[in-house]
Structure 1
Amino acid sequence: MIGAIAGDIIGSVYEGTRMKTKNFVLFSDLCVYTDDTVQTVALADTILTGTPYVKNLKTFYRWYPDAGYGGSFHRWARGEDSEPYGSWGNGAAMRISPVGYACDDLATVLEKARGFTAVTHNHPEGIKGGQAVAAAVFLARTGRSKEEIRTFVETRFQYDLSRSTGEIRPGYAFDVSCQGTVPPAIRAFLDSTDFEDAIRTAVSLGGDTDTLACITGGIAQAFYGGVPEALERKVYAILDERLGTITGTFMGRYCESR
């Protein structure tokens, strides 16, 4: 899961830009964690402690109210009503990587991903995006090849992963939907050579760079067996004590060491 957080932090300063290059400063002084990290850590805490995810999402929102949430999530988190709001946004996919690490079989991954996604993003495209990313993390973690991951995602979720990032990049623009974010993020992983290259490839698409890199980073960590130590240290230095402690605890319990 720290791969997802690394992607969020690295991509945070390039959000909304037309990067279109992999040649950029990986950790600038302006890098911050965003709502992608906050909601990912909230899910990790739910898995660790059994606290209902709805409760954790609202609690973490109160702790981190300025992390860059979307308008619909703001209203939901502030309100007394805890019913889902039918979202198809990419928030469903950015926060789900802990499920791919914590579950022991694919059926459970898909079931848990559906449940944790539907508490807010109960639109079919939202659930589809969350399940696709969680499944990709699980398959990567359990030794499946990139081709096997691609085939499963295309067959099960009908996402088109045929276009390379080189083909996608020129015309890609900011997109907050699951259907417009998840396939390019997975393709960035498929086209990568190592963890850092995966993050650089995702950010190079431009647009919603923190979320693209967050999704890509969660899968890349699983596939490449971790995050480079220097990058991991940078991430923990940026996280506050609460987020860092929960992340470290989850990593120690569910993520294999390098």
Structure 2
Amino acid sequence: MSISPSPTSFVPSIPSENARRALASLSALAVGDAFGSQFFVPDNRSRHRDRELPPGVWEWTDDTEMAASVYREVVRHGEVDADRLAASFADHHDFDRGYGPATGRMLRLVREGADHRDLASGLFDGSGSWGNGAAMRVAPLGAFFADDTVAAAERAAVSARITHTHPEAVDGAVAVAVAAALVARGEVGTPGTFLGRVVDHLPEGALRKGVRAARALLIVPEPVGAAHQLGNGSRVRALDTVPFALWVAAKHLQGTLESALWAAVTPGGDMDTVAAIVGGVLGAGPAGAIDPEWGGRTEALPGWSLD
């Protein structure tokens, strides 16, 4: 995967380590997203069963495209401005990347001048989206703000509400950002301690209960068994996606990115999003090093995110 130029060239006051962590997270997120997306191709279904790498080039989806905007926002500005990030989502929206219909329509309307706040809060009869879209894109933000997990959580919530105002979706983004921050700062401890620290940043609610359930299920050896209890993203809901993705990340804190991504896709479901979250969380830590073969098969990151 070709990654250039330096991500710190925009704002010299931003520590290079922050930007490095965010880029490492984004790069691994893209590999996970692109890898997982290949198993929706009928010709690759036997490869999923046989754990055989699909042929390249692996194209990434909306997960990476939106994560690239998040990455660009924090590296350029060291902050998260909701209006600016919403405009970036809308400007770089590529319909062919697999966006959900509600998000796709919303981003089109933002390009036409509509207010993202009104659109997001009005979705689904005013309840807001509880989907996994805010969680799938947020890991680079968590890696960037790793020095302060409270700040990572706060900014993750801001980034989530641009498109997802339902508490479950916001909490899902917070959980992923905090997990990425903990990995990036090297303070994970045991898998149980890691998930416990994520839980500590979540308010009472369904998502907190889901991550606590993931922690209790760390005794389960195989991802299919865990996904049976936690979900595999097939409902495209934060509650159906984030707990299992964090279970996979926790189980592979000392492993390799490749083994984690195979675990992420093993139960099926929303494979690209689960693998994107796992890749983004592990990406800034020792377990996130990208195997050259996997990186070489993955489509390059969008040039606009790195210019």
What TM-score results when the alignment is normalised by the length of structure 2? 0.72
Query: Aligned residue for 2:102?
Result: 72
Alignment gaps of 5+ in structure 1: 250-258
Displacement of 1:218 in angstroms is 1.0
Paired AA for residue 95 in structure 1: R
Displacement of 1:223 in angstroms is 3.4
| 1:195 and 2:275 correspond | no
| 1:110 and 2:142 correspond | no
The 8 Å contact of residues 94 and 215 in structure 1, kept in 2 or not, is answered as: yes
The 8 Å contact of residues 57 and 299 in structure 2, kept in 1 or not, is answered as: no
Whole-angstrom CA distance in 1 between matches of 2:61 and 2:74: 20
Displacement of 1:222 in angstroms is 2.7
Paired AA for residue 261 in structure 2: I
Whole-angstrom CA distance in 2 between matches of 1:228 and 1:101: 16
The 8 Å contact of residues 30 and 301 in structure 2, kept in 1 or not, is answered as: no
Whole-angstrom CA distance in 1 between matches of 2:288 and 2:248: 17
1:10 to 35, 42, 50: 35
The 8 Å contact of residues 11 and 213 in structure 1, kept in 2 or not, is answered as: yes
| Gap change, CA 1:179 and 1:15, over 3 Å in 2 | farther
Query: Aligned residue for 2:226?
Result: 168
Whole-angstrom CA distance in 2 between matches of 1:106 and 1:147: 18
Whole-angstrom CA distance in 2 between matches of 1:196 and 1:190: 14
Displacement of 1:152 in angstroms is 1.9
Whole-angstrom CA distance in 1 between matches of 2:149 and 2:286: 19
Whole-angstrom CA distance in 2 between matches of 1:201 and 1:120: 29
Q: How many residues align?
A: 243
Whole-angstrom CA distance in 2 between matches of 1:115 and 1:19: 41
The 8 Å contact of residues 16 and 208 in structure 1, kept in 2 or not, is answered as: no
Paired AA for residue 45 in structure 1: R
Whole-angstrom CA distance in 1 between matches of 2:275 and 2:160: 19
Whole-angstrom CA distance in 2 between matches of 1:58 and 1:191: 35
The 8 Å contact of residues 40 and 96 in structure 1, kept in 2 or not, is answered as: yes
How many percent identity over aligned positions?
Answer: 27
Query: Aligned residue for 2:245?
Result: 185
The 8 Å contact of residues 279 and 288 in structure 2, kept in 1 or not, is answered as: no
2:299 to 238, 241, 256: 238
The 8 Å contact of residues 100 and 109 in structure 1, kept in 2 or not, is answered as: yes
Q: Which has the larger radius of gyration?
A: 2
| Gap change, CA 1:240 and 1:139, over 3 Å in 2 | closer
Q: Which has the higher contact order (CA 8 A, sep 6+)?
A: 1
Whole-angstrom CA distance in 2 between matches of 1:112 and 1:187: 23
My pick for the range that moved more, 7-16 or 103-112, is 7-16
Paired AA for residue 72 in structure 2: D
